[in-house]
Amino acid sequence: MSILKLVSKNLLRRKGRFIFTLLGITIGMGAFVALFSIGGNMQSEVTNQAGALGGDFLIVPDDLCVFNQIGIITGDALPEAIDYEEFENVRGIEDLEIIPLLTRRILIYNPTAEAEQQTTVSGILPELTQSFRDWTMYDGEYFSYDDQEAIIIGQGIMNRFQLSVGSELEVRPGETFTVIGVLNDTNSNDDTTVHMPLSVAQRVFDREGTITYMAAKFTNVEDMARFDDFYAKIHNVANNINVTTNEQLLGRVLSILDSVNVTLRLVAGVALIAAAFGIINTMMTAVYERRREIGILQALGGKANAIFKIFVLESGLYGLLGGLLGVGVGTLAAIIAAPLIAGENQSMLMGMELGATLDVQLVVMTVVFSLVISVLSGLYPAWKASRLTPIEAIR
């Protein structure tokens, strides 16, 4: 009988123990895959959203904490505000295009979910913003003038809330507006935002004379090398503001997500450690139960390294099967959990399509990691088995 056949026969001898031990490593690796998958997707979505802001840098309220800066990427409302006069001051700086935005959060009834869900309303200067962000229309028409009492929506809003051109939308009690147009897909949080003229948004949300932040870009690409000069010019003409590049903003937000991912990996690590001890316990029990067999094998000429290989292969097989099953279980868990996480954390994840990211590298890493952990867990039991003498084993 070959070693592989002997190993498989030994594993299946105690089917209940085999199933529960395999279940332990499967759950551990499944948690590993699910948490890495969701964390990787979150980082990817944040990077994509930051890249779609449509500018080179942002002008935000002074002393805005890093956590609240996530709201700029996700389209959330910020707790601080900038006076509209500051926009008037900085828009005169040469070689810069600047747009002001006022973002607020509203509740819209979702017929599919049969419940109200949060989304973002953005107050804009229509002509200036369309030019700045290169918006085109999917359906309907764009704003005709700056004070038009109407709204346009992104395709994400259209699909999510089953709206279309001509639909009526109540953004606040007693404030109902008609959808006059739908934007083409922008692959940014503009797709999940309701847009209205800035002056109308200021009136509706009682934010007269204020904006949330400003987006800016250079008219010439070569001017990006002169960012420090523009930084100084902006601070010379505006007060209570801070200037940050998209890259700086992305770096701060990703640092928060890195901390979250470390926590998630620690949770997965605890599950893996528990699974490793499960394998050690199973293999030690197997050594104790099969002492007589080990002794007979040695008496028939079986060498210590052959016995060692048998037990290492058994533990390695647990890891291989657990890793493969863990990839499937973890992927399924991530697919189910990601929408639930996004739904429970709309204030942070607004505008993001949180899902499961699974690539070949993660699959290979998971299976190899599971195999390594299982083999390491089986070394001590295998060593104990190989050290038994025929007399000790048969006795």
Residue 235 lies in a domain: yes
Q: Please state the pTM of the whole predicted model.
A: 0.64
Segment 181-208 shows an average pLDDT of 89
Rounded to whole angstroms, the Cα distance separating 370 from 320 reads 7
120-132: pLDDT as tens digits: 899 999 999 998 8
The answer as to whether 53 is a domain residue is no
- Per-residue model confidence (pLDDT) at position 153: 93
Tell me what the mean pLDDT of segment 148-166 comes to: 91
- The helix/strand/coil state of 270 is helix
Question: What is the Rg, in whole angstroms, of the alpha carbon atoms belonging to the chain?
Answer: 30
At residue 229, the pLDDT reads 83
H-only helix segments in the chain? 3-13, 15-51, 66-74, 84-90, 126-133, 155-161, 198-204, 227-237, 246-289, 291-299, 304-344, 346-349, 360-387, 390-394
DSSP three-state, residue 352: coil
Of residues 16 and 175, the one with the higher pLDDT is 175
Residue 95 pLDDT greater than 70, yes or no: yes
- Residue 205 forms part of a structural domain: yes
Q: Does residue 245 fall inside a structural domain?
A: no
Shared domain for 108 and 226, answered yes or no, is yes
Mean pLDDT over each residue of the chain, to the nearest integer: 79
Q: Would the pLDDT of 380 be above 50?
A: yes
Residue 93 to residue 181: CA distance in whole angstroms: 32
Would you say 201 and 123 are in contact if contact means Cβ atoms under 8 Å apart?
Answer: yes
Looking at residue 177, its pLDDT comes to 93
- pLDDT of the residue at 348: 46
User: What pLDDT does residue 126 have?
Assistant: 93
What was the pLDDT predicted at 347?
46
Query: Does pLDDT of 349 surpass 60?
Result: no
Mean pLDDT, rounded, for 235-256:
76
Is the model's pLDDT at 198 over the cut of 50? Answer: yes
Which has the higher per-residue pLDDT, 51 or 140?
A: 140
315: number of Cβ within 10 Å: 29
In a domain, residue 307? The reply is yes
Last residue of a domain, one of 239, 268, 296: 239
For residue 299, tell me if it sits in a domain: yes
Does residue 185 sit in the same domain as residue 279?
Answer: no
Under DSSP, is residue 284 helix (H, G, I), strand (E, B) or coil? Answer: helix
Evaluate whether residue 198 is within a structural domain.
yes
Same domain, 312 and 263: yes
Summarize the confidence of residues 198-218 as an average pLDDT.
89
Instruction: Give how far Cα 323 sits from Cα of 35, 103, 361, 366, Å.
Output: 15, 45, 14, 6
Same domain flag for 25 and 71: no
For residues 67 and 41, state if they share a domain.
no
SS3 176: strand
Query: Does residue 52 belong to any structural domain of this protein?
Result: no
Count of structural domains within the chain: 2
- pLDDT of 350 reads 47
Note down the domain range covering 383. 3-47+253-394
Per-residue pLDDT tens for 23-61?
888 888 888 888 777 776 666 666 655 555 556 788 888
Check if the beta carbon of residue 76 is closer than 8 Å to that of residue 231.
no
Least confident of 116-125, 218-227, 347-356: 347-356
Most confident range, picked from 75-84, 123-132, 326-335: 123-132
Cα–Cα distances in angstroms (integers) from residue 71 to residues 17, 212, 248, in the given order:
50, 11, 15
The residue-averaged pLDDT of 304-316 equals: 83
Q: Read off the DSSP letter of residue 106.
A: E
pLDDT score, position 4: 61
Q: Are residues 295 and 344 in the same domain?
A: yes
Question: What average pLDDT does this structure show over 258-271?
Answer: 77
Q: How confident is the model at residue 2 (pLDDT cuts 50, 70, 90)?
A: low
Supply the pLDDT for residue 3: 62
CB 48 within 8 A of CB 163: no
